[in-house]
Amino acid sequence: MTATFSWPSHSLVSSSSSAAHSQLAHIGVFDSGVGGISVLKQLVAHLPHENFDFFGDSANAPYGTRPPEQVLHLSEVIVRHFLDMGVKAIVIACNTATSAAAHDLRAQYPDLPILGIEPAVKPAVEHARRVGGDVVVMATQLTLAETKFARLLERVQGSVPVHKVPAPQLVELVEAGKMDAPETERYLRSLLAPYLASMSSLVLGCTHYPFVKPVLRRIVGPSVQIIDGSDGVARELDRQLQARHLAAPATQTGVVRFANSAPGDTQIKLSDRLFHMDLGR
Ligand code: DGL
């Protein structure tokens, strides 16, 4: 079931501390905007008994062009909201916020499961090693510039060529609901043209990007692997909930609720549309 609600900063929902760690408590999922719904879809598919509260910070999107300190501050505000609501776990459904804030947030809340997402470079490199060709990683400027990404490359790249391709306009196109618009396709064609001949794997390193996967598939053709990290996040959340005895009972049917910092209901309606969108293969 899908319900919607708004989350104005002046009306926080509080809950008793005993609920905070119960199996029935909700899981908070957030992103700079509506992109994290691509992760939420995987979470719900893997864990249908859980209740999820999704928060999109569309009023402050994009995060990917902000300094890391600002992204950390915005993430801290959202996490405090979620804690006031009594969530039992938090998923940072944003590669950019994971790079800039996951480490500090985990240090601040050591008892709370806080999961993040990072570009799926490892499986992409493994695929390129098997079939030949290059890896292209599309992500925000901030994600690609962070030391976290440099370390990830150092660990997994080996001799496989990996191209870093920031796609700053893409977040705004998805936030505007233009997933399949001609301007989106034009933008992506020009961005990817230099790599089309050699690419065997395309990593979607920003959670907004899976929503343009049908367009990307048309551009790169059927044989290129298009991959994102959301499946790994869902499996890790499952593992952590089980290990901490926090998993919802199998008799429960989970609910999903959407909130957004943007005024009006445009982003809430877009959230619902994206949540039900078929992302193809
Ligand atoms: N969806 C986000 C990510 O995964 C961030 C996009 C942005 O706000 O720049 O990186």
- Say if residue 233's pLDDT is above 90: yes
**Residue of 32, 99, 173, 260 with the most ligand 1 atoms within 8 Å of its CB, for mutation:** 32
* Cα-based distances in Å from 142 to 71, 73, 88, 167: 10, 15, 29, 11
Share of residues in the chain with pLDDT > 70 (%): 92
What pLDDT does residue 137 have?
98
| Terminal-to-terminal C-alpha distance of the chain | 25
Q: What is the average per-residue pLDDT within 107-127?
A: 97
For β-strands 199-204 and 225-227, DSSP reports them as parallel
Mean pLDDT estimate for the chain: 92
- Say if residue 17's pLDDT is above 80: no
Identify the helix (H) or strand (E) that includes residue 27.
Answer: strand 27-31
Which of 159, 28, 143 lies closest to 90 in space, CA to CA?
Answer: 28
Beta bridge partners of 258: 4, 54
Task: Calculate the CA dihedral of residues 260, 265, 267, 269 and round it to 10 degrees.
Answer: 120
- Say if residue 1's pLDDT is above 90: no
What pLDDT does residue 279 have?
87
Q: Measure the CA–CA gap between 155 and 138, rounded to whole angstroms.
A: 19
Rounded to 5 degrees, φ, ψ at 16 are: -70, 155
What pLDDT does residue 21 have?
52
Q: Measure the CA–CA gap between 34 and 171, rounded to whole angstroms.
A: 9
- Say if residue 266's pLDDT is above 70: yes
Closest ligand 1 atom to 66 CA? 9
Question: Does CATH number 3.40.50.1860 belong to domain 121-227?
Answer: yes
What pLDDT does residue 281 have?
65
Q: Are 39 and 207 in contact (CB under 8 A)?
A: yes
Which protein residues touch ligand 1 with a CB less than 6 Å away?
A: 31-33, 35, 61-64, 94-96, 140, 143, 171, 206-208
Strand order in the sheet with 27-31: 2-4, 256-260, 52-56, 27-31, 89-92, 114-115
76-79 long-range contacts (CB < 8 A, ≥24 apart) are 76/101, 76/104, 76/105, 76/108, 78/28, 78/30, 79/28, 79/30, 79/105, 79/109, 79/114
Residue nearest to atom 9 of ligand 1 (CA): 64
Of 27, 90, 94, 204, which is the active-site residue? 94
Per residue in 48-88, pLDDT (tens digit) is 999 999 999 999 999 999 999 999 999 999 999 999 999 99
Q: What is the average per-residue pLDDT within 228-245?
A: 96
Beta bridge partners of 276: none
Residue range(s) occupied by CATH 3.40.50.1860 in the chain = 12-117+230-275, 121-227
- Say if residue 11's pLDDT is above 90: no
DSSP H helices, 91-167, are 95-108, 121-131, 141-145, 147-156
What pLDDT does residue 19 have?
42
Identify the helix (H) or strand (E) that includes residue 42.
Answer: helix 37-46
What pLDDT does residue 14 have?
35
**Residue of 96, 99, 146, 233 with the most ligand 1 atoms within 8 Å of its CB, for mutation:** 96
Per residue in 268-280, pLDDT (tens digit) is 999 999 999 998 7
pTM, two decimals, is: 0.92
What pLDDT does residue 38 have?
98
What pLDDT does residue 15 have?
38
Which of 114, 103, 102 lies closest to 27 in space, CA to CA?
Answer: 114
Q: Enter the CATH code of domain 12-117+230-275.
A: 3.40.50.1860
